[in-house]
């Protein structure tokens, strides 16, 4: 192999092997993740032009970063864009570079490991071939809709032609990524192989140059009339069930683009750029980009400590403890799970098995994850754990007596965490010799779905313990939000007045359907009445009781009545709504725009007022962290940028 020195290259490294194949590796300078910044694209274009005249045997593009191939376009650049013309120029430049790659008259191949997202996948799509590492960490996707845009570097044009419109549109409209094996099945990659065979497989393909794959038969036909128009109609209907065009225009714009220009590659390319340029300068995309950076801010909370825990011991194998333990094992940690009851542990293992099967797919990986999670009736894991997480009943005496019992057995320096949702840390700490090591790790239900974890510090909590808890949270791919110990912490505290306002409205005679519609119209993922039913009215009642003093809010009698009569919501088949076989029975919402508006004002005002109060009381450090917490903890309309941002604007 010879290394062709290219002194101008900051980010790309070129190595020519003995077969005359060029191996081009992206290693973006001063970054842990590869993204397609202006500079990266410019350098890439220069290399491509060089290869055009050199005509080597082939080109293999790979990444030198352990984290993955390429995470996408540089989202920082989005913030700088102010006009449609600027946006158009940026997108057309990206398209031009990838068109140059596509037109290269030598075989080209993308060698993919880890994440290959957005612009990264669009680059791979412009290659003749793609080979991916079959490890579940490999993820291929076009998540642009989550940022309020759609693929703009030719992705929508090339993907629909490579795998057929139904699979391509599904991937782009949902923003969901697929693993390598699934990608192979749908024709997105030519081979999915174990890591050790990646290079050999890539070389072989370049040497043999098999036919370049593309959608065949009916899959290709879906891109042409009349199938295209029919499918567009169905897709619009499906998208409408999930999001409204006035909130999230991008999926609708993508369907329109494909519907109108899907049959003509060149035209669609031109219109793809125009469509993304329009979206990028819109309010939704700008706010979703803000949310992206809020998420980065939460992630950075976990980088302030170098704590790298290996062994976790969870006490309490109920709904929460069981799922926390399984999640930690899924993320590679060694976990022991302790409960007093054998049946609880059996249920934990059964649920964990389901989770591992769903997420890991491969039998070997499932077995390994199961081996990492051990039921532990006697609490043998307690003394060797780096972190002990308590998740037993929400009862002060029970928790305190457990802490008294376990503290002497903890390893020196071990972190002690509680998943309490309402008991002040100061109260729990009374049972400890060293209350400074106690921190709250408040997970939300269901653990596998809810990304946010509140890191709760009491008056005595050692700041280092809170940083370690945040580091653990990142370790298990969750978003840590530091909060002060105070009733309801941040998320439940802000959510509860909003839910209670909904119950009050219902007691005043407003139909649940109208209340929920007002919230959906604002952009909430679920109406508050349905949410209360889903959480369980008994749980709402109990949390409301704890918070009512602090919030100076009366718990509506209606809630108490429903709980008393055993109507606890979805789980009992009746709450505010009725449920048949778990399916909600809703009537059509018949209300004027004015009524919806008034109800919406009342609901949102309660939420915003409480958010302001939390900020004033210093429950979170600043308004950005508050916005991040409420978006990721409650699903507050992300396209509005968060409650504080919304009330400012
Ligand atoms: P759960 O009632 O489902 O489970 C509690 C488990 O702890 C039971 O399996 C019980 O056998 C076990 N347990 C009780 N005392 C024990 C002891 N001394 N030693 C070992 N095991 C013991 O409770 P859930 O819902 O999982 O709640 C646990 C904690 O998580 C509570 O503090 C709750 O406030 C908090 N939380 C609950 C959420 C939820 O949605 N359920 C959400 C967030 C936090």
Q: What is the pLDDT of residues 163-217, one digit of tens each?
A: 999 999 999 999 999 999 999 999 999 999 999 999 999 999 999 999 999 988 8
Eight-state DSSP code of residue 192: E
> Tokens at residue 406, please?
């376990």
Q: Quote the CA–CA distance of 73 and 40 in Å, as a whole number.
A: 10
Q: Quote the CA–CA distance of 379 and 382 in Å, as a whole number.
A: 5
Classify domain 491-618 by CATH number. 1.10.1040.50
Q: Quote the CA–CA distance of 8 and 46 in Å, as a whole number.
A: 10
Annotated catalytic, 122?
A: yes
pLDDT tens digits, residue range 54-65? 999 999 999 999
Strand order in the sheet with 129-133: 2-3, 12-16, 21-26, 58-63, 108-112, 129-133, 191-193
Q: Quote the CA–CA distance of 72 and 92 in Å, as a whole number.
A: 16
Q: Quote the CA–CA distance of 175 and 442 in Å, as a whole number.
A: 28
Q: Does residue 598 line the site of ligand 1, with CB under 6 A?
A: no
Note the pLDDT of residue 554.
85
Compute, in angstroms, the gap from residue 543 CA to the centroid of ligand 1: 15
How far, CA to CA in Å, does 42 sit from each of 49, 80, 94, 159? 11, 18, 9, 24
- Longest CA–CA separation in the chain, Å: 80
| Locus of tokens 């020195």 | 5
Q: Does residue 319 line the site of ligand 1, with CB under 6 A?
A: yes
Q: What are the b/e assignments for 407-443, b being 16+ CB within 10 Å?
A: beebeeebbbbbbbbbbbbeebbebbeebbbbbbbbb
Q: Count H helices, E strands: the chain? A: 27, 20
The answer to whether 195 and 135 are in contact (CB under 8 A) is yes
The answer to whether 17 and 1 are in contact (CB under 8 A) is yes
The length of the chain, given as a count of residues: 649
Q: Quote the CA–CA distance of 603 and 6 in Å, as a whole number.
A: 61
Note the pLDDT of residue 7.
47
For the beta carbon of residue 610, count every other beta carbon within 10 angstroms: 23
Residue ranges of domains in the chain: 2-281, 306-484, 491-618
Catalytic residue among 144, 390, 517, 610: 144
Note the pLDDT of residue 551.
73
Instruction: Give 593-623 as a DSSP string.
Output: HHHHHHHHHHHHHHHHHHHHHHHHTTSSSSH
Q: Quote the CA–CA distance of 119 and 50 in Å, as a whole number.
A: 22
Compute, in angstroms, the gap from residue 319 CA to the centroid of ligand 1: 7
| Locus of tokens 């939390």 | 614
The answer to whether 111 and 154 are in contact (CB under 8 A) is no
Eight-state DSSP code of residue 448: T
Q: What are the b/e assignments for 117-126, b being 16+ CB within 10 Å?
A: bbbbbbbbbb
C-alpha dihedral, 430 to 432 to 433 to 434, nearest 10°: -100
Compute, in angstroms, the gap from residue 316 CA to the centroid of ligand 1: 5
Instruction: Give 32-77 as a DSSP string.
Output: SS--B-HHHHHHHHHHHHHHHHH--SEEEEEE--SSEEE--B-HHH
| Beta-bridge partner residues of 335 | 312, 373
CA 461 to chain centre: 29
> Tokens at residue 143, please?
């998540």
Percent of the chain exceeding pLDDT 70 equals 99
Q: Quote the CA–CA distance of 396 and 440 in Å, as a whole number.
A: 14
Q: Quote the CA–CA distance of 153 and 141 in Å, as a whole number.
A: 14
Q: Quote the CA–CA distance of 352 and 319 in Å, as a whole number.
A: 11
Residue 627's H or E segment, with its range, is helix 623-634
The answer to whether 570 and 624 are in contact (CB under 8 A) is no
| Beta-bridge partner residues of 243 | none
Compute, in angstroms, the gap from residue 361 CA to the centroid of ligand 1: 29
Tell the residue nearest (CA) to atom 4 of ligand 1.
Answer: 318
Q: Does residue 339 line the site of ligand 1, with CB under 6 A?
A: yes
Q: Name the E strands within 436-547.
A: 438-443, 452-457, 479-484
The answer to whether 25 and 12 are in contact (CB under 8 A) is yes
Q: Does residue 417 line the site of ligand 1, with CB under 6 A?
A: no
Q: Does residue 492 line the site of ligand 1, with CB under 6 A?
A: no
Tell the residue nearest (CA) to atom 3 of ligand 1.
Answer: 318
Q: How many alpha carbons fall within 13 Å on the CB side of residue 521?
A: 20
CA 9 to chain centre: 34
Spatial neighbors of 197 by CB under 8 A, at least 6 apart, are: none
Nearest ligand 1 atom to alpha carbon 338: 20
Strand order in the sheet with 139-141: 68-70, 115-117, 139-141
Q: Does residue 56 line the site of ligand 1, with CB under 6 A?
A: no
Tell the residue nearest (CA) to atom 18 of ligand 1.
Answer: 402
Tell the residue nearest (CA) to atom 35 of ligand 1.
Answer: 420
Which residues does the chain have with pLDDT short of 50? 5, 7
Q: Quote the CA–CA distance of 143 and 146 in Å, as a whole number.
A: 6
CA 565 to chain centre: 38
Q: ∠487-492-497 over CA atoms, to 5°? A: 95
Q: Does residue 318 line the site of ligand 1, with CB under 6 A?
A: yes
Note the pLDDT of residue 17.
96
Nearest ligand 1 atom to alpha carbon 445: 40
Nearest ligand 1 atom to alpha carbon 418: 32
Compute, in angstroms, the gap from residue 395 CA to the centroid of ligand 1: 9
Helices 537-551 and 528-535: crossing angle in degrees, nearest 10, is: 110
Mean pLDDT of the chain: 95
Q: Does residue 338 line the site of ligand 1, with CB under 6 A?
A: yes
Of 313, 315, 317, 321, the one to substitute when testing ligand 1's pocket (max ligand atoms within 8 A of C-beta) is 321
Catalytic residue among 43, 122, 501, 506: 122
Of 314, 317, 320, 404, the one to substitute when testing ligand 1's pocket (max ligand atoms within 8 A of C-beta) is 320
Compute, in angstroms, the gap from residue 566 CA to the centroid of ligand 1: 22
Q: CATH 3.40.50.720: does it fit domain 306-484? A: yes
Q: Does residue 418 line the site of ligand 1, with CB under 6 A?
A: no
Compute, in angstroms, the gap from residue 390 CA to the centroid of ligand 1: 8
The rounded radius of gyration (Å) of the Cα atoms in the chain is 27
The answer to whether 140 and 116 are in contact (CB under 8 A) is yes
Note the pLDDT of residue 1.
53
Q: Quote the CA–CA distance of 156 and 168 in Å, as a whole number.
A: 8
| Beta-bridge partner residues of 574 | 569, 578
**Ordered alpha helix ranges (H), 126-164:** 155-163
Residue 345's H or E segment, with its range, is helix 342-360
pLDDT tens digits, residue range 28-54? 999 999 999 999 999 999 999 999 999
- 306-484 has the same fold as 2-281: no
Q: What sign does the dihedral 625-626-630-633 (CA atoms) show?
A: positive
Q: Name the E strands within 355-474.
A: 373-375, 387-390, 415-418, 438-443, 452-457
- Classify domain 2-281 at the CATH topology level: 2-enoyl-CoA Hydratase; Chain A, domain 1 (3.90.226)
Spatial neighbors of 583 by CB under 8 A, at least 6 apart, are: none
Tell me the pTM: 0.91
> Tokens at residue 453, please?
């974890």
């Amino acid at each position: 192999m010879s290394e062709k020195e290219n002194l101008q290259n900051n980010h790309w490294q070129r190595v020519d092997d003995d077969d005359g194949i060029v191996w081009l590796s992206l290693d973006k300078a001063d970054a842990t993740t590869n993204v397609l910044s202006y500079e990266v694209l410019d350098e890439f274009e220069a290399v491509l032009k060089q290869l055009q005249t050199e005509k080597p045997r082939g080109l293999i593009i790979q990444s030198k970063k352990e984290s993955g191939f390429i995470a996408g376009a540089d989202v920082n650049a989005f913030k700088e864009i102010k006009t449609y013309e600027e946006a158009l120029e940026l997108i057309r430049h990206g398209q031009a570079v990838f068109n140059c790659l596509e037109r290269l008259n030598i075989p080209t191949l993308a060698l993919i490991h880890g994440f290959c997202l957005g612009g990264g996948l669009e680059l791979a799509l412009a290659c003749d071939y793609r080979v991916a590492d079959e490890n579940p960490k490999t993820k291929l996707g076009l998540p642009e809709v989550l940022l309020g845009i759609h693929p703009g570097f030719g992705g929508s044009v090339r993907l629909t032609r490579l795998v057929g419109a139904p699979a391509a549109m599904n991937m782009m409209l949902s923003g969901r990524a697929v693993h390598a094996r699934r990608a192979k099945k749908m024709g997105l990659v030519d081979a999915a192989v174990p890591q050790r065979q990646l290079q050999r497989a890539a070389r072989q393909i370049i040497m043999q140059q098999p036919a370049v794959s593309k959608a065949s038969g009916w899959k290709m036909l879906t891109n042409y009339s009349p199938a295209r128009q029919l499918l567009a109609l169905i897709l619009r209907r499906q998208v409408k069930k999930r999001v409204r065009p006035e909130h999230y225009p991008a999926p609708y714009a993508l369907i329109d683009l494909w519907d109108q220009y899907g049959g003509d590659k060149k035209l669609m390319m031109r219109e793809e750029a125009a469509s993304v340029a329009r979206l990028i300068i819109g309010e939704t995309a700008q706010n979703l980009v803000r949310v992206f950076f809020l998420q980065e801010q939460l992630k950075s909370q976990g980088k302030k400590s170098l704590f790298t825990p290996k062994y976790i011991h969870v006490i309490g194998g109920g709904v929460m403890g069981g799922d926390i333990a399984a999640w930690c094992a899924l993320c590679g940690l060694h976990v022991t799970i302790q409960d007093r009851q054998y049946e609880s542990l059996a249920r934990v293992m059964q649920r964990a098995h389901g989770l591992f099967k769903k997420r890991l797919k491969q039998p070997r990986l499932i077995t390994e994850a199961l081996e990492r999670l051990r039921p532990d009736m006697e609490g043998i894991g307690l003394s060797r754990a780096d972190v002990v997480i308590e998740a037993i009943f929400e009862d002060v005496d029970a928790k305190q007596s457990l802490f008294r019992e376990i503290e002497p057995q903890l390893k020196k320096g071990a972190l002690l965490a509680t998943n309490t949702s309402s008991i002040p840390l100061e109260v729990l700490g009374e049972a400890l010799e060293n209350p400074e090591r106690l921190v709250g790790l408040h997970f939300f239900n269901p653990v596998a779905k809810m990304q946010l974890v509140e890191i709760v510090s009491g008056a005595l909590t050692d700041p280092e313990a809170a940083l370690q808890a945040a580091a653990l949270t990142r370790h298990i791919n969750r978003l840590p939000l530091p909060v002060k110990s105070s009733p309801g912490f941040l998320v439940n505290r802000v959510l509860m007045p909003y839910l209670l306002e909904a119950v009050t409205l219902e007691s005043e005679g407003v139909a649940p359907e109208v209340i929920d519609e007002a919230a959906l119209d604002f952009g909430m993922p679920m109406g508050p009445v349905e949410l209360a039913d889903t959480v369980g009215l008994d749980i709402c009642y109990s949390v409301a009781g704890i918070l009512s003093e602090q919030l100076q809010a009366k718990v509506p009698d209606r809630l108490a009545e429903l709980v008393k009569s055993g109507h606890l919501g979805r789980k009992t088949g009746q709450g505010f709504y009725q449920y048949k076989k778990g399916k909600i029975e809703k009537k059509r919402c018949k209300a004027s725009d004015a009524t919806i508006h008034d109800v919406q004002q009342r609901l949102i005002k309660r939420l915003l007022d409480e958010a302001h109060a939390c900020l004033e009381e210093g429950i979170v450090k600043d308004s950005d962290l508050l916005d991040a917490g409420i978006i990721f903890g409650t699903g507050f309309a992300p396209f509005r940028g968060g409650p504080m941002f919304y009330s400012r604007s």
